[in-house]
Structure 1
Amino acid sequence: MPSLNINNHTLHYADSHPNGAPEQGQTIIFIHGLGSSQNYYFPILPNLTTHHRCITIDTYGSARSTYTGQPISIASIAADVISVLDALSIPKAVAVGHSMGGLVVTLLGAQYADRINGVVAIGPTHPSSMLTSVMNKRSETVSEAGIEPMANTIPYQATGSGSPALTKAFIRELILGQNPEGYAALCRAIASAPVIDYSAVRVPFLLIAGEEDKSAPLEGCRVIFDGVSSENKKLEVLEKVGHWHCVEAPEVVGGIIAGFAGGI
C-alpha cells in the first residue's frame, strides 16, 4: 500500500487512478471517521471509480497511519488532506468526509475553497457540549481499558434498523484495528473541535444523514446544512440508516455521491 510522509508522520492511502482522473471526471478524496479506515469507503467505490479518481486515506492515528504521539486536531487533519493533494500534484478535489471526517471536509470547504471543488459531509458531527462530554469520556475509557469496549458496543448501538449482522461485524473489525492511543487522541480532537463558520462554505455541498443516526442526529445535521452559504446544496436523509452510512447502504450512498460529483 502506498504511503506519504507529510507533516512529520506517515499516511497510508489507496488511489484508484494514480495517473490522473478520467477525462471529465473529478478527483475525490475521502476522510473517514473515528475508529475507521479507508476501507469504510470501499463498498461505495464501484459507483464512482469508472468516472472519477478516488483517493482514500487512513487518517493519522487511525488504522495503518501509525500514531506517533503528535497532537491531532480537526485543523491538523484538514492540513494533512491539503498536503496529500500537494504531494500528488492535485490542484483541486471533491472532499468527502464521514462523521469526524465530516467536520474536516466542512472546514476544508470553509477555509480552502481554492483547493476544494465540492464537499460531501456524511453524518457530520456538530460540535456541542454534549459531544465534548461523550468524546472525553470515550477517550478515558479507551485509555484505561483498550479498544475492545468500543468494538463491543458501537457496531450495535450506532447502526440503523436496516443493518445486517455482516455490516456490524465489519464495523467491529474496523474498530478492533485501531491503536488505542491514536483512537483516544482522535476523541480529544473531536472534543476540542470549535464550531466551524458554516456560512464560509460556498462550494457545492451535499449532506447525507441517517434517519436513525444517534451519533450525528438529524437536528445537528440541519444546523450545519442551514448554515452553509452555498447556492448549490442538498440534504439527503436515508431511511433505516444509522451512523455508518457507507456500509449500511453502500449502493444508495455511492449513487448519491456519483450524481453530486457528476454535476459539479
Structure 2
Amino acid sequence: MPTVTVNNHQIYYADSHPDGAPADGLTTFIFIHGLGSSQNYYFPILPYLASHRCITLDTYGAARSTYTGDAISIGSIAADVVGVLDALHVAQAVVVGHSMGGLVVTLLGAEYADRVKAVVAIGPTHPSEKLATVMTQRSDIVSDAGMEPMANTIPNGATGPHCSPLARSFIRELLIGQNPKGYAALCRAIATAPVIDYSAVKAPFLLIAGEEDKSASMEGCQHIFGEVSSAHKKLEVLAGIGHWHCLEAPEEVGKAIASFAGGCLMT
C-alpha cells in the first residue's frame, strides 16, 4: 500500500487512479474516516463512484498510519488532507468525511475553500460539552484497558436495527486493530474541537444522516445543515441506520453521493 509523508506523518492511502490527472468529467474525491476506523470503511461505497478518482487514507494515529506521539487536532488532520492533495498534485477535490471526518471536511470547506470542490459529511459530529465528556472518558478507558472495551460495545451500540452481523464484525475488527495511544489522541482531538463556522462553507454540500444515529444526533446534523451557507445543499436521512452508514447501508450511501456528484459537480 502506498504512503506519503506530510507534516512529518507517514500517511497510508489508496488511489483508484494513481497515474495522475483524471480524464474529462472525472471528479477527484478524498475520503476521511471517523474515530476507530480506517480507509477501508469506504470501500463498500466506492463501486458507486467508479467513474471518479477516489483517494482513501488512514488518518495519522489510526489504522496503518502509525501514531508517533505527535499532538492531533481536527485542524492538524485537515492540514494532513491538504498535504496529501499537494503530494498527489490534486488542486481541488470533493472532501468526504464520516463522524470525526465530518468535522474535518466541514473545517476544510470553511478554511480551505480553494481546495474544496464540494463537501460530503456523513454523520458529522457537532462539538458540544456532552461530546467532549464522552470523548474524554473514551480516551481514559482505552489508555487504561486498550481497545477491547470499545470493540465489545460500539459494534452493537452505535449501529441501527438493520445492521448485519457481518458489518458489526467488521466494525469490531476496525476497532480492535487500532493503536490505543493513537485512538486516545484522536478522542482528545474531538473533545477539544472548536465549533466550526459552518456559514463559511459555500461549496456544494451533502449531509447524510442516520435516523437511528446516537453518536451524531439528528439535532446536531440539522444544526450543521441549517448553518451551512451553500446555495446547493442537500440533507439525506437514512431510515433505520445508525452511525456506521457506509457499512450499514452502502448502496444507499453510494447512490446518494453519486447522485449528488451527477447533479452539481459535472460542470
Q: Answer whether TM exceeds 0.5 for this pair.
A: yes
**CA deviation digits over 1:101-148, x for unaligned, max 9?**
000000000011100000000000000000000000000000000000
Query: How many percent identity over aligned positions?
Result: 70
Whole-Å separation in 2 of the counterparts to 1:128 and 1:35: 20
Query: What's the counterpart of residue 29 of structure 2?
Result: 28
Q: Structure 2 stretches of 5 or more lacking a match? A: none
Whole-Å separation in 2 of the counterparts to 1:231 and 1:162: 34
Listed as ranges, the matches of 1:15-54 within 5 Å are: 15-19=15-19, 20-49=21-50, 51-54=51-54
Query: What's the counterpart of residue 10 of structure 1?
Result: 10
Query: What's the counterpart of residue 243 of structure 2?
Result: 243
Q: Which amino acid aligns with 1:25?
A: L
Q: Which amino acid aligns with 2:12?
A: H
**CA deviation digits over 1:67-90, x for unaligned, max 9?**
000000000000000000000000
Q: CA deviation at 1:164?
A: 1.1
Q: CA deviation at 1:179?
A: 0.2
Query: What's the counterpart of residue 79 of structure 2?
Result: 79
TM-score (norm 1): 0.99
Secondary structure in structure 2 of the residue aligned to 1:4: strand
Query: What's the counterpart of residue 126 of structure 1?
Result: 126
Q: Which amino acid aligns with 1:224?
A: I
1:64 to 2:67 alignment: no
Q: Which amino acid aligns with 1:42?
A: F
Q: Which amino acid aligns with 1:36?
A: S
Q: Could you tell me whether the CA contact under 8 Å between 1:25 and 1:262 is conserved in 2?
A: no
Whole-Å separation in 2 of the counterparts to 1:23 and 1:47: 18
Query: What's the counterpart of residue 224 of structure 1?
Result: 224
Question: Which deviates further from its counterpart, 16-25 or 221-230?
Answer: 16-25
Whole-Å separation in 2 of the counterparts to 1:238 and 1:260: 15
Whole-Å separation in 2 of the counterparts to 1:80 and 1:199: 23
Query: What's the counterpart of residue 184 of structure 2?
Result: 184
TM-score (norm 2): 0.98
**CA deviation digits over 1:184-223, x for unaligned, max 9?**
0000000000000000000000000000000001000000
Q: Structure 1 stretches of 5 or more lacking a match? A: none
Q: Which amino acid aligns with 1:131?
A: L
Whole-Å separation in 1 of the counterparts to 2:23 and 2:215: 36
Secondary structure in structure 1 of the residue aligned to 2:89: coil
